[in-house]
Amino acid sequence: MTVPNIALAAALVAGVATAQTDWPTFGHDLAGSRYSPLKQIDAKNVTKLVRAWTYHMSLSATPTPAAGSSEAGDAVEGGRGRGGRAGRGGRGGGGNSEVTPLAIGGVMYLTTGGGRVVALEPETAKEIWTYDVKDGAPATRGLEYWVGDRQSPATLFFGTTRGKLYALNAKTGKPIPGFGNEGIVDMKPGALNGLTNSSFGLSSPPIVYKNLVITGAHVQEAPSIGAAGDTRAWDVHTGKLVWAFHSVPRPGEVGADTWKGDDWKNRSGTNVWGLFTIDAENGILYMPFGEPTTDYWGGDRPGKNLFGTSLVAVDAVTGKLKWYFQVVHHDTWDYDLCAPPVLFDVTLKGKKIPAVGELTKSGYVYILNRLTGEPIYGVEERKVPVDDALPGDQAWPTQPIPQKPPALARTSFKREDIATVTPELNKFCTELFDSVPGGLHAVGQFTHYSTTPSVIFPSSIGGGNWNPPSFDPGLGYLFVNTMDFGSLNVMVKSEDGGRYSRMGYNGNNRFWEPESNMPCNQPPWGRLFAIKVNTGEIAWQSTLGITESLPPDKQNTGRPNIGGSLATAGGLVFIGATDDSRFRAFDSKTGRELWVTKIDAGAHAAPMTFQGKDGKQYVVITATGGGFLGDRSRADTVIAFALP
Amino acid sequence: MEPKLHFGCLLIAAAAVAAGQNKSAQLPEGKGRDAVKTICTPCHEIGSVIGVRRTRIGWERNVDDMVSRGAEGSDEDLQAVIDYLATNFGKINVNTAAAKDLQTSLGMTEREAQAIVAYRQQNGKIKDFEQLKQVPGTDLEKLLAKRPQIAFSL
């Protein structure tokens, strides 16, 4: 087999001792490129793809064999997916999953929505072993593989909704006795700030670097006081805590002056619930932090509130701060950073600059020098509205807006932007907008959630979301997906009268017609972009997804989407993410949609690819519907495609 | 012409009711209220839980989703949460609801409810609000007032 130079370069960046035909970590490599050198499936033959297998996460065993067609039947409306709901009480929901499976050394590993971790034969989805997680549900976005050493066997690390960190023997599926307490570390005690009733878990996979397994935190949105969102590193052999990075700086630490008095104390949120990446060569860990509690009112936290909604780089071995870049000052929009910061090189005026690209809910990609945190294409501190802030909240007067690339999602709304897609939608949305004297509250980019019903673009779920981008090193294109989607909310006083709490308006909290799920803004409603990282310009963009209920000539609206992409040396970008229950392939160079197939449910996950022992390239996507897009489809499937 | 202004007023009224009910973000009394407080509010403001109306299936799925993201409770308590939210912040699917439920949930007369059942038996699924308005024997004003509580699927 010929391995192109690009692949070799990617392998070096990744620093993972596995074959390039594998998918060894969430983002394919530690740099989060989600780029595979495999090219058996290419722009010429992608239309011939067929379903190779379907794995049902709620059942024990019995993958469905290929049906000979790539078309799946519609999920039955009102059905709960095959196997129904797993037992509640912490056992995980009805198959809901955002997992990217891993494929290493001829075995596939994943966490399931059914509360298990499984090892599969990757060519058939036949179960090799299964592990039933009894104490909470395993993280919905998956797990991390560590190759092992003389002291420890190859290990799978994953967190649970109850704050346990597990180490399983990758070969046997049994807990590793020497790690923590019989294979389990309780991450809660060190995070709870002495409180007992706080929620703490992991929803994303940890990341391994040298002898450390590094974990984020899935903590509350409210109330203000709760578990810390610190990032922590644990010894891969013993599970002993090695370092902790205080996500809310304590007195004397960098950033402490962005908090007043004791406001920092026991502050929750400010957590990496999304995905880490690592510059293996330079030993730097990149952490996308979410905003501090509470999400929509910051009256009890005046200041910039570091490291809320900031990208932070630390020494991966020590946890010591290298630099930070705050994307939203004093965030009251729930614009958590959560997408994996993708690492790549930018060639500018003949000079190579090591860079990191972060997709944001606020609708941008920030391209920074990954050694210094300096913006490569400039960032302007732009004046934003302050007069509409809630009583008691001190809005920050400016926000950092990248000069390039431009906004990748709608960032404001005016009455003339109301959708004219159908007369009915136009009528509904116009009446909705006019239902408040003077219209819904919308005063431009960074409009505040107000006591007047407000329309906020991008919505609290983006713009971008945790959507893992992909990067084609040959083209120098970064592929990102976003939605042009708004929130519709009104702020009301909390029970004790001291705070404000976010409510829906008219039984609805998105700016759309909630039965047809058609947004009230003019399309596009969801897009896929290729960003030329060497110029900061958009190379191409395409709508992503269709509105099936519209007449054929009007369907190409793009759809709300959460999930990510995969780029391959076959010149393809694979992506699900949309709420139209489809999986697609685009031409990397041109953005032309080359292939689309109906799948069992919306795939709010990010795909992966690997080469099987049979020499075939497989592309795999998890599709369970549900989630935050009001997606009514439901299934419990992981689906593999290959050429016949 | 459609009663545009009137509809606007109804929207305001509905919003005022929703906001009024929760001016202090309070949950109405009822079975399951404590379970909602115990299970949902450790992670969210109550407003973000009850700010949206959903059908019973919608609430079931939402609770399942939350469980997969860390909500904790016994099966019994989680069922109580679903029942409470479906009762107090529910939507009703006009394509599947029994006539009796259309009466109690949407304030229809027996005759109006029967008209909807007969229509869907004859014509199949009612696609959207525009089609619902065309069902003979229904009261447009009533439907408009209840629109946020009407669902056509799930």
- Token pair listed for A202: 């992991």
Percent of chain A with pLDDT over 70: 91
In the prediction, which pLDDT does A18 show? 58
> To the nearest whole angstrom, how far is the Cα of A462 from the nearest Cα of chain B?
17
In the prediction, which pLDDT does B17 show? 40
Cβ <8 Å between B70 and A489 = no
Phi first, then psi: what are they for B101, rounded to 5°? -70, -35
Mean pLDDT on A173-189: 97
- Token pair listed for A152: 């420890």
How far apart, in whole angstroms, are the C-alpha atoms of residue A135 and residue A512?
38
How far apart, in whole angstroms, are the C-alpha atoms of residue A526 and residue A481?
7
Mean pLDDT on A142-152: 97
Instruction: Report the predicted TM-score, pTM, of the whole model to 2 decimal places.
Output: 0.92
Give chain A positions within 8 Å (CB) of B89.
Answer: 507
Give chain A positions within 8 Å (CB) of B26.
Answer: 495
Q: Is B124's Cβ below 8 Å from some Cβ in A? A: no
Domains of chain A are: 187-408 (2.140.10.10)
In the prediction, which pLDDT does A434 show? 98
Question: Which of A493, A260, A510, A268 is closest to A390 using CA atoms?
Answer: A493
Q: Which CATH architecture has domain B29-90?
A: Orthogonal Bundle (1.10)
Cβ proximity of B107 and B129 under 8 Å: no
Give the three-class secondary structure for A336.
coil
Cβ <8 Å between A501 and B48 = yes
- Token pair listed for A336: 């958590």
Give the three-class secondary structure for A567.
strand
In the prediction, which pLDDT does B5 show? 36
In the prediction, which pLDDT does A66 show? 54
Cβ proximity of A274 and A469 under 8 Å: no
In the prediction, which pLDDT does B65 show? 86
How far apart, in whole angstroms, are the C-alpha atoms of residue A447 and residue A287?
27
Asked whether the predicted pLDDT for residue A471 surpasses 80, the reply is yes
Asked whether the predicted pLDDT for residue A432 surpasses 80, the reply is yes
pLDDT digit string, tens, across residues A109-128: 999 988 999 999 999 999 99
Alpha-carbon Rg of chain B, whole angstroms? Answer: 17
Cβ <8 Å between A632 and B153 = yes
Q: Please state the domain extents for chain B.
A: 29-90, 92-151
pLDDT digit string, tens, across residues A64-77: 555 433 333 333 33
Average pLDDT, 10 consecutive residues per value, chain B (154 residues): 37 41 68 93 86 93 88 93 95 96 94 96 94 93 93 92
Range in A16-20, A365-369, A420-424 with the lowest mean pLDDT: A16-20
| Nearest-10 Cα torsion for A553, A559, A563, A564 | 50
Mean pLDDT on A439-460: 97
Range in A2-11, A233-242, A318-327, A408-417 with the lowest mean pLDDT: A2-11
Give chain A positions within 8 Å (CB) of B59.
Answer: none
> Considering only residues 148 to 167 of chain A, which have any Cβ-Cβ distance to chain B shorter than 8 Å?
161-162
- Token pair listed for A118: 């499984």
pLDDT digit string, tens, across residues A310-351: 999 999 999 999 999 999 999 999 999 999 999 999 999 999
Cβ <8 Å between A503 and B69 = no
> Considering only residues 474 to 493 of chain A, which have any Cβ-Cβ distance to chain B shorter than 8 Å?
489-490, 492-493
Asked whether the predicted pLDDT for residue A83 surpasses 50, the reply is no
Percent of chain A with pLDDT over 90: 86
Sheet holding A107-111, edge to edge: A102-104, A107-111, A116-121, A126-132
pLDDT digit string, tens, across residues A529-578: 999 999 999 999 999 999 999 999 999 999 999 999 999 999 999 999 99
In the prediction, which pLDDT does A94 show? 53
How far apart, in whole angstroms, are the C-alpha atoms of residue A643 and residue A386?
56
DSSP category for residue A481: E
Mean pLDDT on A237-248: 98
Residue type, A260: K
In the prediction, which pLDDT does A589 show? 98
Asked whether the predicted pLDDT for residue A2 surpasses 70, the reply is no
In the prediction, which pLDDT does A63 show? 54
Asked whether the predicted pLDDT for residue A258 surpasses 60, the reply is yes
In the prediction, which pLDDT does A211 show? 98
Give chain A positions within 8 Å (CB) of B21.
Answer: none
Percent of chain B with pLDDT over 90: 69
What is the average pLDDT score of chain A?
Answer: 92
Mean pLDDT on A181-199: 91
In the prediction, which pLDDT does B154 show? 85
Contacts of A350 (CB under 8 A, 6+ apart): none
pLDDT digit string, tens, across residues B118-150: 999 999 999 999 999 999 999 999 999 999 999
Give the angle B149-B151-B154 at the CA atoms, nearest 5°. 130
Cβ proximity of A633 and A625 under 8 Å: yes
How far apart, in whole angstroms, are the C-alpha atoms of residue A4 and residue A2?
6
Cβ <8 Å between A501 and B45 = yes
Q: How many residues does chain B have?
A: 154
Q: What number of C-beta contacts closer than 8 Å exist between A and B? A: 177
Cβ <8 Å between A501 and B78 = no
Asked whether the predicted pLDDT for residue A81 surpasses 90, the reply is no
Sheet holding A565-568, edge to edge: A35-36, A565-568, A572-575, A582-587, A593-598
Question: Which of B85, B54, B57 is closest to A84 using CA atoms?
Answer: B57
Cβ <8 Å between A90 and B23 = no
How far apart, in whole angstroms, are the C-alpha atoms of residue A355 and residue A476?
12
DSSP category for residue A406: P
DSSP category for residue B90: B
Q: How many CB atoms lie within 10 A of CB A498?
A: 11
Top-confidence residue, A580 or B69? A580
Angle between helices B56-68 and B75-88 (to 10 degrees): 140
